[in-house]
Copies of this chain bind each other. A is one copy, B any other.
Amino acid sequence: MKVSVQTADFDLSSEVKALAEKNTNIGAVASFVGVVREVAMTLEHYPAMTEAAIRKIVEEAKSRWEVMDCTVIHRYGELQPSDQIVLVAVASAHRGDAFAACEFIMDYLKTRAPFWKKEHRAEGARWVEARASDDDAAERWAGKVG
């Protein structure tokens, strides 16, 4: 498992290749990249907690699905429109497990990992508000067994 919280950009291909090359049983890599939309932003986080919180989410995913390996990279600091923010890549023998675990990790990152976005709009900076739909997305996993 690789978890990194960093200011630097990442390269999706290299990360996915690194996963796929580790184990010849890996046949499926599902990945997700979150991208900054129209507005530049600053991402703040809680350094002492962030990586541990992400590792906990990944462990939970591994207990639910057949996950052979997993990479999560989350950036913080100043980001511009169309910059990459987050990468979750999950390798598995089976695509169903790879997809489910990847989406699960993203949903939990959105509600459990200590990041906050501040958008820099023309009319001034403002903190992005959490969306109820993100809580809903995370909660729908609660009753499910993988």
Contacts and interface: CB of A to CB of B under 8 A. Distances in A.
Contact of A32 (B12, B28, B137): B28
A34 B28 CA distance: 5
Given A32-B29, A96-B137, A37 B12 contact: no
Contacts of A21: 82
A31 interface: yes
A71 to B, nearest CB: 13
Interface string A78-107: 000110100000000001101100110010
Nearest to A28: B34
Size category of the binding interface on chain A: 20 to 34
A129 interface: no
Copies of this chain per assembly? 2
Contacts of A16: 12, 33
- Most B C-beta atoms less than 10 A away, residue of A13, A98, A102: A13
Given A12-B12, A13-B11, A102-B99, A27 B32 contact: no
Interface of A: 11-14, 16, 20-21, 24-38, 81-82, 84, 95-96, 98-99, 102-103, 106, 137
4 A-B pairs with the lowest CB-CB distances in the bound complex, closest first: A13-B13, A12-B13, A29-B33, A20-B35
